[in-house]
Amino acid sequence: MLKIEKLKKIKSNFPVLIGSNIIPKNICKTLIKEISSSKSFDDMIMGGRSRINKGSKNFDKYIQNSKISKKIFKLFNSKSFYKKIENMFKKKFKNGSWENSNLPEIFNTKKFTIKKKLNSSELQKMLGNNYSNPKVNLDIDFSVSKGGYRLRPHRDDITRLYNFLIYLTDIPKKNGGSLTIYKKKTKKNIRKSFKRFPKINELDIVKEFTPKQGTAVFFQSTPNSYHGVKRFIEKNCPKRFFIYGSYALNKPVIWKFKNIPYYPHIIKNKKKKLTSFHDANYLTIPAAN
Ligand SMILES: [Fe+2]
């Protein structure tokens, strides 16, 4: 159902693979129907994105009633498919690239990143300070965005290894909603810290992708994997239907670049937020817990 062998490398500062017609158009259309007929969504984030998230009762119900979504979910939610993705990145980005220091052995099909709101010390406690022997799980949501949806440049959560997006609708260029890939404006020898939310003037645009039906993007969630979504204008065009997912560890990822480790430092914050909304910097020195 998914032609991942068609994914190709792009020129970028971090590993990104992209391909068109990864999912046939008729399957995309069925997926849109399935998402559209969902009676309820779990949440709405970033100014207009409604999600059905793995882990919710709503998600289980949705999967039961949606044949094709169920197939996709089952495919992604397996150790064999995770291994396929891991091997594909290893093969296509051989030397001198980013590596995860602690490879997971166990794939947990039942697990998902909790959607509970925590403050930074509760999050730190939950993640612990022993980052070896991690387990991996799939996080996935079936999403639809209306006008106004946008994402400022960021890097994803510190527990994530790979992220992927599958676009189900064609969005005309003039309507925005494009996925933008950035790089940090620094000289190559200064790579000591990677903020989660760099300022726009600290970044250069590397590439922009207008959503196309059946196109998929996979990328490694490295400390410098900066990306965002330009504001989506819903005018004479369909809503932006897509599938978003990631393979995440149950602990933070210690990334290595040319054998130099990068450790996550969670920024202290008393406010309770979803785990994936917390700020963290990647630095070459370990965090003192
Ligand atoms: Fe993201």
Cα of 96 from ligand 1 centre, angstroms: 24
Say whether pLDDT at 189 is over 60.
no
Report the range of poorest mean pLDDT among 51-55, 156-160, 276-280: 276-280
Second-level CATH architecture of 4-283: Sandwich (2.60)
Q: How far, in Å, CA of 143 to CA of 43, rounded?
A: 10
Nearest to 159, CA basis, from 190, 138, 189: 138
Cα of 142 from ligand 1 centre, angstroms: 15
* pLDDT, position 287: 81
Average pLDDT over residues 64-92: 96
Measured torsion, CA atoms of residues 47, 49, 54, 58, in degrees rounded to the nearest 10: 100
What does the pLDDT look like over 170-180, one tens digit per residue?
A: 988 888 888 99
Say whether pLDDT at 243 is over 90.
yes
Q: How far, in Å, CA of 181 to CA of 28, rounded?
A: 24
Cα of 245 from ligand 1 centre, angstroms: 10
Nearest to 222, CA basis, from 194, 190, 191: 194
Say whether pLDDT at 191 is over 70.
no
Percent of the chain having pLDDT more than 70?
Answer: 97
Cα of 9 from ligand 1 centre, angstroms: 19
Burial class (CB within 10 angstroms; exposed 0-12, middle 13-18, buried 19+) of 11 = exposed
> Residue 76: in which H helix or E strand, if any?
helix 67-76
Say whether pLDDT at 239 is over 90.
no
Say whether pLDDT at 187 is over 70.
no
Average pLDDT over residues 65-86: 97
Domain boundaries, the chain: 4-283
Nearest to 54, CA basis, from 118, 126, 111, 116: 111
Q: How far, in Å, CA of 1 to CA of 64, rounded?
A: 19
Residue 30: CB atoms within 10 Å: 16
What does the pLDDT look like over 8-58, one tens digit per residue?
A: 999 988 999 999 999 999 999 999 999 998 888 888 777 788 899 999 999
Residue 247: which pLDDT band, with cuts at 50, 70 and 90?
Answer: very high
Cα of 246 from ligand 1 centre, angstroms: 10
Cα of 244 from ligand 1 centre, angstroms: 9
Say whether pLDDT at 210 is over 80.
yes
Say whether pLDDT at 120 is over 60.
yes
Say whether pLDDT at 289 is over 90.
no
Cα of 61 from ligand 1 centre, angstroms: 26
Cα of 156 from ligand 1 centre, angstroms: 5
Cα of 79 from ligand 1 centre, angstroms: 23
Could you tell me the strand order of the sheet in which 151-154 lies? Answer: 151-154, 227-229, 179-184, 203-209
Cα of 228 from ligand 1 centre, angstroms: 7
Burial class (CB within 10 angstroms; exposed 0-12, middle 13-18, buried 19+) of 214 = buried
Task: State the average pLDDT for the chain.
Answer: 90
Determine contact, residues 153/228, Cβ cutoff 8 Å.
yes
Cα of 89 from ligand 1 centre, angstroms: 19
